[in-house]
Amino acid sequence: MEQLDEIDLKLLKILGNDSSHTIKELAAKVNLTPSPVVQRVKRLETSGYIKKYIALLDPQKFNQGFIVFCNIKLKQHDRNIGRSFVQDILKIDEVVECYNISGDYDFFLKVFARDMKHYQDFVFNKLGSVESIGSAHSTFVMDEIKNTHNISF
């Protein structure tokens, strides 16, 4: 792992909070000229510290503000069943995050839906069609307290 200096870390923290800053704005925030900032940001991208830039959309604005966390147990622990599950989940738009986890469950899903009725339809018609699922346990979000994608370093 390459060494990151104080300026690299500051750039990462700034971009982690808001990637819409221009190079000129970034340069002013780290007291450098734009040229070395461009080089540093490119190096951070190429070396994988910055994976990609995205716009975080507000699910409420799209009538998708009902958030559900769903724990999934597979029918069996088998390579083909696991692959089949992953392929099926990647096709379902309501699933916005999916993690393979340890413990009592095999996968952890974050699901956006319009409301309880939409989620019920999702469970019966979309999750229900994923043959590799043995069981599912849903937890409904009452309020989002903290949501950040920044990393502490």
Residue 93 per-residue DSSP state: T
Residues 82 and 127 placed together within one structural domain of the fold: yes
Q: Are residues 117 and 69 in the same domain?
A: yes
Q: Nearest 5°: CA angle at 51, between 149 and 36?
A: 105
Q: Is residue 153 part of a domain?
A: no
Per-residue pLDDT of the chain (153 residues; tens, 9 = 90+): 578 999 999 999 999 999 999 999 999 999 999 999 999 999 999 999 999 999 989 999 999 999 999 999 999 988 899 999 999 999 999 999 999 999 999 999 999 999 999 999 999 999 999 999 999 999 999 999 998 888 888
Could you tell me which of 77, 72, 82 has the C-alpha nearest to residue 136? 72
Q: For the chain, what is the radius of gyration of the CA atoms?
A: 20
Expressed as residue numbers, the domain containing 66 is 59-140
Residues 79 and 107 both lie in one domain: yes
| CATH number reported for the structural domain that contains residue 19 in this entry | 1.10.10.10
Identify whether 117 is part of a domain. Answer: yes
Alpha-carbon gap, residue 125 to 123, rounded angstroms: 6
The percent of the chain in helix, strand and coil, each rounded to the nearest 5, is 40, 20, 40
In total, how many domains does the chain have? 2
Per-residue buried b or exposed e for 64-79, using 16+ beta carbons within 10 Å of the residue's own CB: bebbbebbbebeeeee
